[in-house]
Amino acid sequence: NAGVTQTPKFQVLKTGQSMTLQCAQDMNHNSMYWYRQDPGMGLRLIYYSASEGTTDKGEVPNGYNVSRLNKREFSLRLESAAPSQTSVYFCASSDTAMNTEAFFGQGTRLTVV
């Protein structure tokens, strides 16, 4: 069972470079999320998509854009990477019902130098 798949697992960027983090889920979930994880700060929501065709800002959206390509896929783009975006990025998905948990990918460790 694949669940939530993120690519790549590791990435090093130079300041100013752009890249897209890919995420796909095979659980037919309506909602998808992008979080970043930094030491001592837990997980902070960057963007989420409650359903196909909609996206909304989370707690820390600056410097990022997202695309909900279809029900399965939700990508995160860094247009001009900055060292402050060095982090571990997690994609997650959940059913629409509020009482269901989110399922997480394995994470992408991004370093911006």
Contact between 58 and another protein by CB under 8 A: the answer reads yes
In the chain, the amino acid numbered 21 is L
Contact between 96 and another protein by CB under 8 A: the answer reads yes
Binding residue for another protein (CB under 8 A) from 11, 45, 67, 71?
45
Contact between 33 and another protein by CB under 8 A: the answer reads yes
Contact between 31 and another protein by CB under 8 A: the answer reads yes
Q: How far apart are CA 69 and CA 53, in angstroms?
A: 8
Q: Which stretch binds another protein (CB under 8 A): 21-29, 61-69, 71-79, 103-111?
A: 103-111
Contact between 10 and another protein by CB under 8 A: the answer reads no
Nearer to another protein, 10 or 14 (CB): 10
Closest to 65 (Cα-Cα) out of 85, 88, 38? 85
Q: How far apart are CA 22 and CA 74, in angstroms?
A: 7
Q: Which stretch binds another protein (CB under 8 A): 17-25, 41-49, 64-72, 74-82?
A: 41-49
How far CA 43 is from CA of 35, 51, 80, 92, in Å, comes to: 6, 21, 22, 11
Nearer to another protein, 63 or 107 (CB): 107
- Burial label, 34 (beta-carbon count in 10 A; 0-12, 13-18, 19+): buried
